[in-house]
Amino acid sequence: MTSHPTDTPQAPGSPAIKTRRFSVSLVWIVPIVAVLVGISLVVHSILQQGPTITLNFKTGSGLTANKTEVKYRNVVIGQVTDVALSDDQKSVNATVQLAKQAESFTRADSQFWVVRPRIGAGGVSGIDTLLSGDYIGADIGQSETRAKQFKGLENPPPITYGEPGKRFTLHTQTLGSLDIGSPVYYRKIEVGQVVAYELDAEGKGVNVEVFVHAPNDAYVTENTRFWNASGIDLSVGANGFALKTESLSSMLVGGIAFRAPPYSPNDKPADEARTFELFDDQDSALAPPNGEGQYMALRFDQALRGLKVGAPVEFLGVEFGKVVSINLDFDAKKRSFPLNVGIVIYPQLLGQAHTKLLKVMNHDPNDEAAGVQLIGSFIENGLRAQARSGNLLTGQLYIALDFYPKADKVKFDPSLRPVSIPTIPGNLEQLQEKLENIVNKINQLPIERIAGNLDSNLVELRKGLTQFNAKTLPGVQNTLADVSKTLQSASSTLAEDSPQREQLTQTLDELGRMSRSLRELSDYLGRHPESLIRGRPDNAAPLDLQGPPRK
């Protein structure tokens, strides 16, 4: 064995014997353990691997392979492993590796959407993704079937599966400012939201789907009325201004409110998925039901500026219908352009007048011919339609149905549909007509002749005046000068220091004295009437009047 016999015993022999008890060195355990660990890792990862699904999104914004996570209730349940364009290059396919425990998210009706920050008037959502980046939100479905392909939603679903509550469908003419997520209010408390909307089958209306959370869904009863609570409802009435709004949020994003009318007997909670009408505002929602409408035609001969579709129709001052159409027509016979106005009236809005009338007339509301006959008798009694001015400032008109017993008789054609009601000109029109008549009469006056006569008269007048100026005026002047002289002399006669005045004063003094003497004489005669015969005795005179003795 060895080339150097002396070397062989030098090799330490005993350990060699010891190790040879094992055919394989113990050190091989180390790589075996390492391989086992590696295999266990592989097996573990295979066992942990959940299903792989593909989500189809319109855009790949926010989706990053191996980074974007799929979360359910903020727990990571998977990760996007690949983002690629779809085959038709119209959308983006995101491949998602779900975790093992998220296997149930492959139910066919599971929903997936990208959570990104959304800032709207209704609120802010997904604000955490501003920093962390977008992630895919998931909602578990209930279907029994499984799927591999899912269509990603553009917006997060407002309601998660299994949320207690009820869905209702509201039918309306226009969506208005409503949107998915718009709140639903009951007595100004938010109890639900709009979850979907779509045009109805004919495209003539919108079906809005709302979800009302439990337990408040019990307040949606069969009589409940829904109305659009969007925006501000500002109304001006006899009581002043009234401002109605549900909340600041509903002013911005719109909202729906509902309530049952105050008197709703035998009301019970509505069934799921029941369809309701969505009214435009609270007043029309809670108003008594219109009942069945009746269409009627009116024919006006005069222009109706200010009459609009939707203008009210009143019967004796009670609003019970509206204008639905205004069409210009041409009358071949009269060569004029009359206006055809279509109206719809709701007799039920007349309230007890309607019901009592029906009772008295023994009339069945469903009997159309009888109804027309009834209207015919009304017209016989002078029922006429008139366009009246509702607002003098804006010139808006409304249609008034009223009785005018003095109106001209009109023949009623009961076979015509819609029923035609004769019209009379409106108040303003009547006034206008009268004014027109006056103007016509004025027009007919022989103004030119009158003016000619007046003109010649004036010429003569001027001639007369010239004559007057030339001849009469100088004479008048002379007369006036004479008068002035006369007055001057009179004035000098009456002056303070004139002799005439002096004489007058003396004469008056004399007269005074004379009258005193006469009074004395009469007094004396009164006391001594005998003196007329005998003459005056000496002592007869009063002392004061006694003159010196004559003897």
Partner 1 sequence: MNTPPTASELALCLCHSCGLSCDMRAGPTECERCGAPLHRRKVSSLTRTWAYMLTALALYVPANLLPVMNTTMLGSGADSTIMSGVLEFWQHGAWDIALIIFIASIAVPGIKFVSLTLLLVTVQRNSLWARKERSKLFRFVELIGYWSMLDVIVVALVAALVKFQALGTIEPRLGILFFGLVVVFTMLAAMSFDPRLIWETPHNKETSDDVTSH
CB of 214 to partner 1, least distance (A): 33
Q: Which two tokens stand for residue 36?
A: 């086992």
CB of 45 to partner 1, least distance (A): 9
| Interaction site with partner 1 (CB under 8 A) | 1-4, 6-7, 9-16, 19-20, 25, 27-28, 30-31, 33-35, 37-38, 41, 66-67, 128, 131-133
In contact, 116 and 134? CB cutoff 8 Å: yes
CB of 40 to partner 1, least distance (A): 10
Specify the residue, 69 or 402, whose C-beta has the smaller distance to partner 1. 69
Side-chain-side CA neighbours of 235 within 13 Å: the count stands at 10
Residue linked to tokens 């027309």: 372
Q: What's the rounded Cα separation, in Å, for the pair 403 and 375? A: 12
CB of 324 to partner 1, least distance (A): 59
CB of 135 to partner 1, least distance (A): 8
Give the 3-state secondary structure of 190-204: EEEEEEEEEECCCCC
Torsion (CA) 428, 434, 440, 444 in degrees, nearest 10: -160
Specify the residue, 77 or 208, whose C-beta has the smaller distance to partner 1. 77
Specify the residue, 18 or 406, whose C-beta has the smaller distance to partner 1. 18
Specify the residue, 47 or 248, whose C-beta has the smaller distance to partner 1. 47
CB of 29 to partner 1, least distance (A): 8
Count of other CB atoms within 10 angstroms of residue 151: 13
CB of 217 to partner 1, least distance (A): 36
CB of 2 to partner 1, least distance (A): 6
The helix (run of H) or strand (run of E) holding residue 434 is helix 427-444
Specify the residue, 25 or 489, whose C-beta has the smaller distance to partner 1. 25
Residue 179 burial by Cβ neighbours in a 10 Å radius (0-12, 13-18, 19+): middle
Q: Which two tokens stand for residue 256?
A: 């729906």
Residue 177 burial by Cβ neighbours in a 10 Å radius (0-12, 13-18, 19+): middle
Q: For residue 60, which of 80, 87, 88 has the smallest C-alpha distance?
A: 80
Specify the residue, 16 or 248, whose C-beta has the smaller distance to partner 1. 16
State CA 21 to chain mean position distance. Answer: 105
CA angle at 111 for the pair 220 and 77, rounded to the nearest 5°: 125
Specify the residue, 61 or 546, whose C-beta has the smaller distance to partner 1. 61
In contact, 229 and 256? CB cutoff 8 Å: yes
In contact, 78 and 98? CB cutoff 8 Å: yes
CB of 11 to partner 1, least distance (A): 5
Q: Who contacts 224 (Cβ-Cβ below 8 Å, separation ≥6)?
A: 258, 259, 260, 270, 276
DSSP letter assigned to residue 219: G
CB of 80 to partner 1, least distance (A): 12
Specify the residue, 23 or 366, whose C-beta has the smaller distance to partner 1. 23
Q: How far apart are the first and last CA of the chain?
A: 238
Specify the residue, 6 or 489, whose C-beta has the smaller distance to partner 1. 6
In contact, 208 and 243? CB cutoff 8 Å: no
Q: What's the rounded Cα separation, in Å, for the pair 270 and 227? A: 17
Specify the residue, 14 or 539, whose C-beta has the smaller distance to partner 1. 14
